[in-house]
Structure 1
C-alpha cells in the first residue's frame, strides 16, 4: 500500500531541506530567509507547510523571527543546534566517519568524471569558484565560495544524480566553523581547490580523484578536533571546509 504524505510529513521534509542548506553554508548566520510567499513558491509548497517547517526550525534553534521594519526569518548564530550536532556525533560512534567515507567515495568519483567529461562551459564555474577564494572577506563569503566549488564540480561531471547526492551529503555535516575559534583557512582551501581544478582541467582523472581524497581526509582530521576536542592550542589549527 502506498504511504500517504501528510502535511506534517511535508513540513518535516521542508524543515530538513532548509536545515541542510544551513549546514552546508548556503545560508549563513545572520542572513534572512526569503519572504514567506517567495520561499513557498521556490520550494513548491503551501505556505501552511512552510510555516510549520519554520516553527520546527525555531524550536531547534536554527532561526528566529524578528519584527519591525527589518523583520523576517533570520538564521541564528547556531550555538544550540551546533552543540546538539556535536553531541550526536559523539554519541553515535562512527557516524561522522561513515559520512566522510561516503563523501570520499562520492566526490572522488565525481572529480574523476569531471576530468573525463567536462566542457569549457562546464569548467568555467569551477574556476570562478576557485578565483572567488582569492577575494573572500568574512566567513559567509568563504562558506559560499567553498560550496560553489563542490557543486560546480559535480555539475561538470554531467550527472544530475551525482550533483544532488553531493549537495545532500554536504548537508549531513554541520559546519560549525562560524562558532569556534578556528582561523579561516583560505590559503589551505585555495591550495586544495586549485589542485583539484588543475587535475580536472588537464583531464587527469586519477590526479583529480587523489586531490579530492586528500582534501576530504583533511576535513576528517579537523572535524575530529571540533567534535571530540584536541590538545591545548587546537584553536590555532586551520579549519578545512566540508
Structure 2
C-alpha cells in the first residue's frame, strides 16, 4: 500500500472515502474491490485495520465485516489471526470473467465511447495538472516507483500495475476528487480491457509513452505532459474500438 507522504493525495485516501447512505454494503464492497483491482493494496498486502476502514468509509463495523466476508468467499482476501494478523489480499486473485468481444460490443451500446471520452478528459487533465505543480521529493519518488513497477511487471500483473501508474499521476495532481474520478473510470475501462488480448508490441509502446509522460511531469512541462497523455490514451482507445466495435 502507498505510504503517507506530505503533499501526496494518496489513492487509498481517495478510494476509502465515505460511502453514501443508500447502499452501504454494496458501496463498501465496491471500494474495497477498487483498491485491490487497481493495485492500491497489492497481493499479499494488508488492508487497513477494521476500525480505521470503518471510520474512513463511514460505515458500521458490522457492514464492513459483511463486505470483507463477501470478498473472502469470492477469493480476494483472507483473514489471519495473531499479533500480525488482519485482512490480507490473496497472492492469487480470481481471474476476471472474460466476455466475448462481439457480445460485449452488443451490451455496451454507447458505453464504450462514453467511457473513452470521460477517461481522456480526466487523465489528460491530471497529467497537465501534475506537471503544473511543484512536486515534493516524496511525490517524485512515488511517480518514479510506480513507473518502475509498471515497466517491470510480468504479463499477468501488467494491467494492475498500469492502473497503479495512472492513479499515481492523478495523485500527484494534488486533487483527491480527481484521483477518485480517475479510479472510477479506470474500473470501467479495465472491464473492457479484460475482453481484448494483451499485445506485446502495444505493451512496449505503452512503456515508452509512460516514460515520456512521467519525464514531462517531472520536468514541469504541462504542454508535453498533456500531449503525450493524449497520444497514449488514443492508442488504447484505438485498440478497444478495433476489438469491440
TM-score by length of 2: 0.68
Q: Do 2:101 and 2:196's aligned partners in 1 also have CA atoms closer than 8 Å?
A: no
1:111 aligns with 2:135: no
Mapped contact 2:68–2:77 kept (Cα < 8 A):
no
Q: Is 1:63 matched with 2:74? A: yes
Give the deviation of 1:160 after TM superposition: 1.7
Q: Which residue is 2:190 aligned to?
A: 174
Q: In the alignment, what sits opposite 2:205?
A: 188
Structure 2 residue 165 is matched with structure 1 residue 149 = yes
Q: Distance in 2 between matches of 1:15 and 1:227?
A: 28
Map 1:121-160 onto structure 2 (within 5 A). 121=137, 122-140=139-157, 142-160=158-176
Aligned residue pair count = 213
Pairwise CA distance, 1:208: 0.7
> Would the aligned equivalents of 1:40 and 1:46 in 2 still touch at CA under 8 Å?
no
Query: Does structure 2 conserve the Cα–Cα contact (< 8 Å) formed by 1:24 and 1:173?
Result: no
* 8 Å CA contact 2:128, 2:226 repeated in 1: yes
Q: Contact (CA 8 Å) 2:100, 2:195: kept in 1 or not?
A: no
Give the whole-Å Cα distance in 2 for the aligned partners of 1:130 and 1:13. Answer: 30
Residue 217 of structure 1 deviates from its aligned partner by: 1.2
Deviation of the 1:130 alpha carbon: 1.7
Aligned to 2:236: 219
Q: Is this contact kept in 2: 1:104–1:216, CA < 8 A?
A: yes
Instruction: Pick from 23, 27, 37 the counterpart of residue 13 of structure 1.
Output: 27
Q: CA RMSD in A?
A: 3.8
1:220 and 1:200 mapped to 2: Cα distance?
A: 22
Question: How has the CA–CA distance of structure 1 residues 186 and 55 changed in structure 2, closer, same or farther, with 3 Å as cutoff?
Answer: same
Match of 2:95 in 1: 77
Shift of 1:205: 1.2
- Give the distance between the partners of 1:128 and 1:13, measured in 2 at CA: 30
Unaligned regions of 5+ residues in structure 2, if any?
1-19, 81-87
How far apart are residue 209 of structure 1 and its match?
A: 0.6
Change (3 A) 1:173 1:52: farther
Gaps of 5+ in 1: 229-242
C-alpha change, 1:220 and 1:64, in structure 2 (3 Å) is: same
Contact 2:192 2:240 in 1 (8 A): no
Q: Structure 1 pair 139/43, CA: closer, same or farther in 2 (3 Å)?
A: farther
Partners of 2:44 and 2:101 in 1: CA distance: 22
Taking a change above 3 Å as real, the CA distance of residues 189 and 39 of structure 1, as seen in their structure-2 partners, is farther
Cα distance in 2 for residues equivalent to 1:93 and 1:214: 25
Greater shift, 9-18 or 103-112, is seen at 9-18
Q: Could you tell me whether the CA contact under 8 Å between 2:131 and 2:216 is conserved in 1?
A: yes
Deviation at 1:112, TM superposition (A): 1.0
Match of 2:116 in 1: 100
CA contact (8 A) 2:39 2:160 kept: yes
